[in-house]
Every structure is written in C-alpha cells, then in structure tokens.
Structure 1
C-alpha cells in the first residue's frame, strides 16, 4: 500500500493544488461532459486559497490529470481491479458514500468482468463527484502517487496521470486481443515475462516525446469477435503527426501451440522483430483472437 504519510509535503501540495484546480478551472468542461455535473452543482464546490507557489508550473498538467481521470473512470476502475495496491490506497483515501464504496469493494473482489456493473459504478462515482467534489481529486491523487512511485524518482510526483492511464489501456488492449479463453491460458505468463519488456519501450517513448503519445488497440468491428485477426495488439502513436512509433504484435506459431510476442520500432523503420518471446502450451490456442 502506498504510504501517504511518508510522502507528506508533496502529497499535501498535489492534493490541494488538485482541489483548487477542480474548483476553479474545470467547471465548464465537466458540466459539458455529463448531465450529472451541472453548472449549479459546480458553483457549490468548496473554494480554497493557496499561494502562487503551489499553482505555479504544474497547473496545466494537474488540470489535465483531473479531466483525464473523469473521462477515463471506466479504465481507472478496471485498473484498480487489477492492482491491489492501487485499490487499497484508494479505498483508504476516498470519501465516497459507504454504499458506493461497498459496491466498489465487491466489484474489486470478483474475478469476473461485468461491463454492466462497471457502467453502473462509473455513473455512481460520477454522481458522488457531483455531490462531493473532493472525490475526483482523491482518485487523481491516488493515481498520481501510484504513477509517481512507479515511474518517477522520490523527489517529485509528476503531475500527470497519463503514464498509469496508458498502462491500464495497454493491459486492456492485450486482454481484448487474447479474449477470455486465451487469457486463461496465457495472460499470467504474459504479465510475468513480457509486460515489463514492452512497457519499458512505451515508457521510454513517453519520456522521449514529453507525453505527446497516444495508442490504438485491436478493436475492429468488421472482424471476427470485433478484434483484428492479424498480429496487431496496439500501436503507439505520435500525437502531433499521428505517425506510428511502436507496433506491438501477437502471432500464433508452432501449429497454434505457441504465441509469439514481438514489437516493431520506428528507429529501424519497423523492419526488425524485437522481443520475440514465446508462450507455449501442449494444447493449441484458440484459432481466433478475442474468443470468450
């Protein structure tokens, strides 16, 4: 569990700055995003006054982190479900009402992914944000600390949650590509042997391009199971010019008894196969990606 007390001063600054931003800067954008957050409810938000030092250079990143948390609550809750430290830190920190908190705890404790239940929880949390405006900064603060503990030095929590949101998204892309049948056969080994390798590549791109990266996943409505049936899992994209920076692939080999994981990089014009790590089973993997 993240030690909130140990992080002391920087947590305090991050939290208060987030609260101030949420109460002063985001009213119009959030009100436009959902009918739950009306202008009148936003005007009832708690107001804070802090020194310019708190709000100085991190203002834009903190604002973006709050909007990113709100816009990606489904991804955030899925990420918490898969990360015990993250969910424990959040459940300890949150001021959500007890009934919503109990529903979240139940969702986190089950192994099944129920999209209807997830959608209901997202709506419930958004309603709580409308009623108790500290909830969104609490979620964002937890993500910032988790992201900071994973990707940044102990000296400073970087004021953007993009790295951890991106990691959630890429894990979800791999799960969608596999489908539940292949997940049961191979996902645990993927996490143990391959995830850290590909994530190191993505993190390096995040640093190189100052966070101006995006991704697209394996979804394809025209394909079987709504998933690209070729090798593509996800692409990392330069936000500015929309060009590919990295392509992560999965391929059935050895007569379907192995999956080869590899990636291609812009650095060598996507010619080389990097990684080429295999997961092998005695029985064949399902023929189609995305099989449930």
Structure 2
C-alpha cells in the first residue's frame, strides 16, 4: 500500500470512529492479521508430512503383528525342547539328550508343522504350549492348544516300555485332534537300560 493511500486510510478511520481507534491501533491490527495469515501457511505445510508419517507407522505396526509360520515353528520347537528336559529331569536327560535331539525333536517339528499349517498366520499367535506336568507317572510332555477355546491341537507324550526279555525304552508319540486323539502316532524309541529308569522329573 502506497504512503498517500495509507495516510488517507488513517484519516478516514479517525473521522469515522471519532478518534476511538488510533492510527497506531489500525496499523497494529493490520500487522497482526498479516502475521496470523503468514503463520498459518507454514503450519499447513508441516501438517501433511506428519499425517503421512503417522499412517506409515500404523501400517508398519500392523505388519509387525502378523505371525510368521516359520517363526512360530521355531518358537514352538524351542519351548518343546525345554519342556521335554523338564520332563526328563536331571537323571534321565544326560543319558538320552543326544538321541532326543537328533531323532525325536526333528519329528516333533514335522508333526507341529503338519498339524498347524491349517491355521492362518494371523491366528498362530493364539496357539500356545503347555507345561510339562509335575506329577511323575503322566505320559504328557506338552500339549499345543488354542488359548481362545482351551482346545488341544496336538499332544506329545512319552511312555516307558519294557518288552519281554528286553530292557527299558522310552516311546515318544503324539495324538492330534483330527481323530479325537485316538490314533497313536509314533515318533521313535530311545533305549534306556535293563535297569528300571528313574521317575520323570527326578533330580540327581
């Protein structure tokens, strides 16, 4: 705005408002309105990247919640091995640990893969593993179950066998819900000795 227009504007304001609004107030209000309009522009410029960043973070978090089937299997195998060693106790574990790792554990992994492949990845987080029972005579090593319903999916057991005129064996097997846990799926046998094995969970 040119100087003569500004002076004319000041005089008109003074006449119309009977001196209630001073020229300095008029200029002050004008400057404030200009500052406000200028201050809004940068904020609107910065708003869009923040919104975009928030959307990207939400998408990233959602992807993290998805459960990968391979990671699920590895997690189950790690916990299965731990529960088995709790079941064996410190007297049995050192004797059969190597054979368990090389013969039985890989078959446990296959059984878990086959039984849980029907579950979508977004439901795998609801499957969990039970703990080995504290009581000694149970065959149970661990079960995998759906925590939403409490229903078992697969049950892993070990039984002491003593064939006639032979020593003692540990028979590893599992049952699944597909046949209402009726069929006996063998995982293999590990020979113990001619002497009676210690009770499960026995400590040295």
Contact 2:132-2:140 within 8 A present in 1 as well: yes
Establish whether residue 216 from structure 1 lines up as the match of residue 130 from structure 2: yes
Pick from 190, 199, 202 the counterpart of residue 279 of structure 1.
Answer: 190
2:106 corresponds in structure 1 to 196
Give the Å deviation of 1:53. 5.1
1:176 corresponds in structure 2 to 86
Establish whether residue 254 from structure 1 lines up as the match of residue 158 from structure 2: no
Distance 2:172 2:196 in 1: 14
Give the Å deviation of 1:61. 5.8
Contact 2:146-2:152 within 8 A present in 1 as well: yes
Question: What's the TM-score once normalised by structure 1's chain length?
Answer: 0.44
- Residues 197 and 253 of structure 1, relative CA distance in 2, 3 Å threshold: same
2:40 corresponds in structure 1 to none
Provide Cα deviations, 1:103-147, integer angstroms capped at 9, x if missing partner: xxxxxxxxxxxxxxxxxxxxxxxxxxxxxxxxxxxxxxxxxxxx8
Once superposed, what is the RMSD of the aligned Cα atoms? Answer: 2.8
- Residues 53 and 185 of structure 1, relative CA distance in 2, 3 Å threshold: same
4+ residue runs of structure 1 moved beyond 4 angstroms? 49-55
SS of 1:194 mapped into structure 2: helix
Give the Å deviation of 1:189. 0.3
Distance 2:129 2:79 in 1: 9
1:23-102 superposed matches below 5 A = 52=55, 56=59, 59-60=61-62, 62=64
Establish whether residue 265 from structure 1 lines up as the match of residue 182 from structure 2: no
SS of 1:214 mapped into structure 2: strand
1:165 corresponds in structure 2 to 75
By percentage of residues, which structure has more strand?
Answer: 2
- Which runs of no fewer than 5 residues in structure 1 stay unpaired? 1-48, 66-146, 152-160
Question: What's the TM-score once normalised by structure 2's chain length?
Answer: 0.60
Structure of higher CA gyration radius: 2
Q: Aligned pairs, how many?
A: 145
The structure with higher relative contact order (CA 8 Å, sep 6+) is 2
Provide Cα deviations, 1:215-272, integer angstroms capped at 9, x if missing partner: 212133xx3xxxx421010111122211111110001111661100000111111111
1:86 corresponds in structure 2 to none
- Which runs of no fewer than 5 residues in structure 2 stay unpaired? 1-51
